[in-house]
Homo-oligomer: A and B are copies of this chain.
């Protein structure tokens, strides 16, 4: 293949999203050493900006050197010791993945299932927490696989009343809709760079509360992953600056620039923009006879599941959008396969012109059938 010759794709899938021009360009900055004082300064600034993005004062707020799933593993691997009870809300692929990851850490997992596409009801979590008395309650804020946004505040009260830590996946919400780590009492959260941050995939922003840090530093067993051991990472990122691993330099340039762009726009403006474009899509779909599958009142602005009626072929629509219109969208997964198409409106991709272009292109395709 010849690089640099491909079309510019309008990225409206479940991530990655399109980059802003300055994020793209910053990656041509010369690589420097991970021990260079300039890079150490950049690490400080990345941490500061990430804290503003997560709305937290947690000192342990860093980008893990891996993708979003490494962020998930980071949270579980540091907080779980073999035999620990964990209650996990499951309403989609990423809740499923949490169970798998937690079990591999030796957790005894208690699932609280909700149908894919719905939110995880706080009451169901409450009964499980009461019964199990878990060390951790975990759930996905924004289910990328379905477009459901589960409220966190009530779950937080339930978890903390039982003395449990609250672990939340904010992969598809962070930077696109409100996420308040401190105000909501989240003890551990992870995200990814390629969704609403509009940075290439490759880093996983994470944050741990002081309470979570104390659990991680007072374990009776070693963290099973050396690469993700928060005790070593804290020492490298902000304590003694003891060399741990060679940070992905260029990716950290990109994240630094993406965070600058986000904070310059302002979180409130950014959330409003994501909401506006979500509503523009919802209205536009209605006008051509389609609707979203997301639960009323809990729609995720950044990931819009479009219901595919009987008689239309989801895979064919996705394929034609890409091949004929250069628009990337996602298909449904698991029980929602063939039943929804996933339209991402994340970061730089959340633009009215993208919404309109998608609507017209989609209409042209489905109008034929």
Chain A positions within 8 Å of B, measured between CB atoms, are 1, 3-4, 6, 8-9, 11, 13, 15-16, 18-19, 24-36, 38, 41-42, 45, 65-70, 73, 77, 97, 100-101, 103-105, 192, 194, 200-202, 222-227, 244-251, 253-254, 256-257, 322, 328, 330
Contacts of A45 in B (CB 8 A): 1
Contacts of A68 in B (CB 8 A): 245-246
Contacts of A222 in B (CB 8 A): 103-104
A69 and B6 contact, Cβ closer than 8 Å, known pairs A11-B31, A31-B19, A104-B225: no
Roughly how many angstroms separate A279 CA and B207 CA in the complex, as a whole number?
48
A sample of 30 inter-chain contacts (CB < 8 A) reads: A1-B38, A1-B45, A4-B25, A8-B30, A9-B32, A9-B33, A9-B36, A11-B33, A15-B246, A18-B31, A24-B28, A24-B30, A31-B201, A36-B328, A65-B202, A66-B70, A67-B245, A67-B247, A69-B226, A69-B227, A69-B245, A70-B227, A73-B225, A97-B226, A194-B246, A200-B248, A201-B249, A202-B202, A202-B249, A224-B224
Roughly how many angstroms separate A11 CA and B33 CA in the complex, as a whole number?
7
A3 touching B29, Cβ below 8 Å: yes
Within the complex, what minimum Cβ distance (angstroms) separates A261 from chain B? 12
> Which residue of chain B has the shortest Cβ distance to A256 in the bound complex?
B3
Contacts of A8 in B (CB 8 A): 30
Partner of A200, one of B31, B38, B101, B257: B31
Roughly how many angstroms separate A16 CA and B35 CA in the complex, as a whole number?
10
> Which residue of chain B has the shortest Cβ distance to A27 in the bound complex?
B27
Within the complex, what minimum Cβ distance (angstroms) separates A222 from chain B? 6
A100 and B226 contact, Cβ closer than 8 Å, known pairs A31-B11, A66-B66: yes
